[in-house]
Each structure stands twice: as structure tokens, then as C-alpha cells.
Amino acid sequence: MSTFLLGGDLPVERLGLGTMRLTGPGVWGPPADRAQAVHVLRRAVELGVNLIDTADAYGPFVSEELIAEALHPYPDGLVIATKGGFTRQGPGRWTPVGRPEYLRQCAELSLRRLRVERIDLYQLHRIDPLVPLSDQLGELVALQKEGKIRHIGLSAVEVAEIEQARTLAQVVSVQNIYNLTRQRHRDVLDYCTRESLAFIPYFPLQAGSLAGDGSEPAEVATKYGATPSQIALAWLLARSPVTLPIPGTSRVAHLEENLGAKHVRLTDKDVARLTRQWSDEP
């Protein structure tokens, strides 16, 4: 299945685009080539991508501004997912802040930067351990009731946290790190599959571990006439019907290579072979 009904009402192509890499080093500041970043976004939509993932912390603010610059007014059916609740203190530095008044500010400013009246999917970027989860999600629910958020998602969570969150809000998605070489969140993926929640794996590629001569992905790639990166993405798509990988890139050629993964149909045997290779990885 090439599409997924996000939140039960938003049909999205299962291979989306992450925009963290459209910023400067350390996810800080503007990209070195702004025109190229805009081109990547426009080319992705031209190639059928209709799920774009971002966050106010990317830049900060840079990624959201680029999306609006490149794509507004947005084509029908384009789903933009953003996040709030992560503050930035410099390149590579991140600190969660989940106070309700801050989360509201995050959402209000994302609405302004993205030039929309409602955010399709708003994700709590990190749970702040210093603030009750009921306060954090309570503010997102309030924004949802006001029509400023359509759906609510979580990021970087464990199963117990998802279960707790679902007693407080209608959660439709979970975004966790997950890729062929880092399968630690298999239990979260299994939970999302059972509950029909979207599972959005970030950092879906671990290029250094994939491309070496004799590696499992390289051998499977030769069989399919594909690249190791395409095999890694095809594996994610085959792992569960709820996975929505969001590979990011700052180059059009790499974007086009990534999107070629949707044409690779791995056999069950090859999926099992690749899964076993790193099944004990953290």
C-alpha cells in the first residue's frame, strides 16, 4: 500500500520528506545554498510527496520559513507536520520546554511562519520531564479545540508514554528514531501497528553502515538493481503498513534517489534477512 490515512482523514504518500537537513550545520542557521533548499522542496512535491515534516527548532525557524517560501500557496492535499517544545541554545544543542504558555507560543508562531490557519499534524517534539504531561497535552488539546491544530502526535517516546498520552489526547502518530541499523524501538512500531497509529521513523538512513562492500543491504541492492539507501527505505515501508519514512536531504539528486525506494518491492524473505542482520542492535 503506497498511501496511509493519517488521523483517519488525511491520505498521505507513505514516503515523505524530512526538512531538518535544509538548515545549517548542527541544525542551526540558514542553509549554505538557500535556492537549492527551495528547489528540493519544490521537486519533492513535483515527484508526488505530500507529507512534509518539520519543526520550529530546525534552524530554529529556518525550515518552516523555507517551506512557506517554496510552496505557499500550498497545493491541495499537501500535509505539513511540525513540532514544538524543543528550545535551541546553539548548534547541536536542544532542551525540552513543555510549559503550556510556551507550547502555545510555539504553535502560534508556527502558524504564522507556515502561513496556515491550521496545522495538519502538530507533534510534541519532546516530553518535558519537569512539566506534567497532562499540562503539555492539555494545551495542545485546547489548540485543537480552537481549530489551530488538526491532529496531535508525539516524538521520541516509549510505549508506556504513548499509552499515558492517549488517556489525555487523541494521538494519531509517533515519531521515533528507527532504521535498519537501529531497531531499538521495535516495540513502539509493533504497538503503532496494532493500534493503527502512524509511525514516522526519523533518521531512516544510516548511510555509513549500509553501503560497505559485502554488507547485507549492498547485496540485496544488487539483486534489485537499487542502491543500499533505497533498500533501507524499502525495508522500512515493508516493515509495517503504518510506517511513514521521512528521509531528508539538501540535494535534489539524493531526493530523487530516496524516492526511488517506493518502486522497490522486497520479498518477505529479504525483509526477514535484513531485519535479522541488526535485530540485536540498540
The H or E element containing residue 195 is helix 186-195
Nearest to 40 by CA among 61, 69, 60: 69
H or E segment at 110? helix 100-114
CA-to-CA distance for 199 and 181, rounded, in angstroms? 17
Active-site residue 58, yes or no?
yes
Query: Measured between alpha carbons, how far is 225 from 227 in angstroms, rounded to an integer?
Result: 7
CA distance 70 to 36: 11
Using CA atoms in the order 253, 37, 59, 3, what is the torsion angle rounded to 10 degrees?
A: -60
Q: Which three cell numbers stand for residue 280?
A: 540485536
What type of residue is 37?
A: A
Helix, strand and coil content of the chain, in percent to the nearest 5, comes to: 45, 20, 35
Closest by Cα among 12, 30, 32 to 243: 12
Nearest residue to 85 via CA among 144, 141, 125, 134:
125
Tell me which of 58, 122, 178, 202 is the catalytic residue.
Answer: 58
Query: So which residues are the catalytic ones?
Result: 58
